[in-house]
Amino acid sequence: MDPTHSFTIDAEPYPFEFVPAKCILLIVDMQRDFLEPGGFGETLGNDVSQLRRTIAPNQKLLAAWRAHGLQVMHTREGHRADLMDLPPAKRMRGRGTRLIGDLGPMGRILIRGEAGHEIIPQLSPLPAEPVIDKPGKGAFWATDLHAILQNRGIRQIIVTGVTTEVCVNTTVREANDRGYDCLVLSDCTGSYFPELHTAGLAMIKAQGGIFGWVSHSDKILAVLG
Ligand code: C5J
């Protein structure tokens, strides 16, 4: 596979011209507290199996991506231990019994350095793969993601991870406004709520791809071999 070559990927609403050398795989928030049984997400009553179905396809895609020496980055949602980067509105919204920064089943909830904040071991970043720690839902806000992508000549982003309607969607919208083309993979993204997963993908590909494209990891794997 010549990474500078353009490959046509079957996608919605129309084919995506994939240039591997100008493309990054961005894996969003595959963190223990969102995905693991016994984590914060499950203690809120969420069905983590809806997110865990994305683990195997992400592993397969990541292995093929790495085998070709292509660029990959990971994100984590979380905050400083002193909570100084946590807007009070974000902390209070949801009105749960446990809030961001409180002690959860895997350490303090959504706090950097705590066990629950870590990326699940199945998708552990390699030392050369940048990890973007983001205080918001979008991966561009208050981070150096845009600078890193610009410095690496990236124009396209393949987005996977969780959750489809929250951090994946927000990141895709931010990327769109900055001029990137995003392809979102339906089997590698997930939501606790299947109907919001479907709606989240529909919003991306609506109106001729108003925010980007939607496809399946099989289509990328067919090119990567
Ligand atoms: C993410 C969330 N990662 N749902 N966060 O989507 O609060």
Mean pLDDT, residues 41-56 taken together: 94
Report the b/e string of 50-76 with b at 16+ CB within 10 A. Answer: bbbebbebbeebbebbeeeebbbbbbb
Distance set, CA 157 to CA 77, 118, 121 (Å)? 19, 23, 23
pLDDT digits (tens, 9 = 90+) for 77-92: 999 999 999 999 999 9
Q: What are phi and psi of 12, to 5 degrees?
A: -110, 145
Nearest to 82 by CA among 105, 100, 104: 100
pLDDT at 167: 98
Could you identify the atom of ligand 1 that is nearest to the CA of residue 29? 3
Give the residue numbers annotated as catalytic, written as ranges: 29, 134, 167
Please say whether the beta carbons of 91 and 83 come within 8 A.
yes
Mutation pick for ligand 1 pocket among 120, 167, 173 (CB with most ligand atoms within 8 Å): 167
33 lines ligand 1 (CB under 6 A): no
Please say if the pLDDT value at position 96 is more than 80.
no
Number of H helices and E strands in the chain, helices first, is 9, 10
Q: What is the mean pLDDT of the chain?
A: 96
167 lines ligand 1 (CB under 6 A): yes
Please say if the pLDDT value at position 98 is more than 90.
no
pLDDT at 97: 79
pLDDT digits (tens, 9 = 90+) for 4-31: 999 999 999 999 999 999 999 999 999 9
Its sign, for the CA torsion 174, 175, 176, 179, is positive
pLDDT at 76: 98
Report the C-alpha gap between 166 and 29 in whole angstroms: 11
Going through the chain in order, the beta strands assigned E by DSSP cover 7-9, 16-18, 23-28, 71-77, 103-104, 107-108, 131-134, 156-162, 181-190, 213-215
Three-state SS at 17: strand
Tokens at 168, concatenated: 């994946």
Please say if the pLDDT value at position 95 is more than 80.
no
pLDDT at 116: 97
Confidence band for 40, pLDDT divided at 50, 70 and 90: confident
pLDDT at 93: 85
Q: What DSSP element (H or E) covers 185?
A: strand 181-190
